[in-house]
Amino acid sequence: MTEDVRVYVEEAPGQRREIQAPTDMGLSLMEVMKADGYDIQATCGGMALCGTCHVEVLAGPELPEPSDDELAMLESLPVMTQGSRLSCQIRLHPRLDGLVVRLMPQDA
């Protein structure tokens, strides 16, 4: 029995869209958001090299610490907040149920 996880994307203040996804396929948050229609270029294919999958974590369970590669990429972006993460580096796991993120603008 595999477990699905529910994550939420805040599209505007107070407006959240639920995405439900399986956790047994090794998918990243970037992949499920992209599949759900969000405009994420992911030009590096999920290698923590392009920064186009930048999200801000707004609420939810604690995530594993970012790797050095992820941190280096985040620090090179024009805007980095306390909750900044690369969604391609977040593997879906039942533990992440209830995670709330928002997609960060690319032209900031």
Residues 104 and 6: their CA atoms lie apart, in Å, by 20
Q: Length of the chain, please?
A: 108
Q: In the numeric block, which tokens belong to residue 62? A: 């604690």
61: helix, strand or coil:
coil
Q: Check binding of 21 to ligand FES (CB under 6 A).
A: no
Q: Residues 51, 33: contact at Cβ < 8 Å?
A: no
Shortest distance, position 38 Cβ to ligand FES, whole Å: 12
Q: Which C-beta is closer to ligand FES: that of 14 or that of 45?
A: 45
CB 16 to ligand FES: min, Å: 22
Using CB under 6 A, which of 86, 92, 96, 99 touches ligand FES?
A: 86
CB of 14 to ligand FES, least distance (A): 27
Touching ligand FES, residues 44-83 (CB under 6 A): 44, 46, 48-53, 73
- Closest distance of CB 40 from ligand FES, Å: 7
Q: Could you tell me how far CA 98 lies from the centroid of its own chain?
A: 13
From the list 51, 47, 54, the residue with the least C-alpha distance to 102 is 54
Considering just the CA atoms, what is the radius of gyration of the chain in Å?
Answer: 13
Residues near ligand FES, by CB under 6 A = 30, 42, 44, 46, 48-53, 73, 86, 88
